[in-house]
Amino acid sequence: MPDPLNRFGDQRRTRVGLLGGSFNPAHDGHRHVAELALKRLRLNQVWLMVSPGNPLKPVAGMAPLADRLAGAAAIGDGRRVLATAIEAAFGTHYSIDTLRILRRRFPRVHFIWIMGADILTQFPRWHRWREIARHLPFVVLPRPGYTRAALSGRAARCLRQGRRPAHEAPILANARSGWLFLPSPENTTSATAIREASSQGAVS
């Protein structure tokens, strides 16, 4: 399927939320987060950035990129929520490298990273995670079983000076850095649970 984004970039002035992940598979929880971000952060678009390969996740059990991209496209609308494999086109393995290219090729876009509380707990394991936090605003949404630990964890403690109140969500994308926790209804859908249920169904 053709990618909706031009890997060489453009000069549009817009506000874009980046929701990265394996999307293995994409599900209603991803759509819930994207739609919530569009509304609460007042974004023009959310890009579902389907990773060609997450260095922190095992290769075993990972569906082909084309299948995961198609699944992400199915939960988007092709206009405001776009599924893209632009990282594969860039040939990047780490988010810090992807972000550098995105900023260079889309110089007028205000980017904001969207992550669940489960990702915030993993954030210190990311390559050059402090540099990402210094140069890109991000928003954290609740995830069942992770929220309390995430907000008292290492990343939240180290970045506490950059934390902003939730009511600043509509202007966060225009900031150079900073982050906030956005209280919202939790969606309990889990890609891991979907894979496990699918596997059990195949066995039975």
pLDDT digits (tens, 9 = 90+) for 88-102: 999 998 999 999 999
Q: So what CATH class is 14-203?
A: alpha beta
Mean pLDDT of 17-27: 95
Taking the C-alpha atoms of residue 197 and residue 37, their distance in angstroms, rounded to an integer, is: 28
With tokens 């780490």, the residue in question is 94
115: which 2 tokens? 């992550």
CA–CA dist 140, 125 (Å, integer):
17
Average pLDDT over residues 52-72: 89
Residue with tokens 């894979």: 195
CA-derived radius of gyration, the chain: 16
Task: Please check the confidence at residue 75 and state whether its pLDDT lies above 60.
Answer: yes
Which pLDDT score, from 0 to 100, does residue 201 have? 56
Q: Tell me the pTM.
A: 0.91
Would you kindly state where each structural domain of the chain is located, as residue ranges? Answer: 14-203
Residue 197: its pLDDT value, please? 57
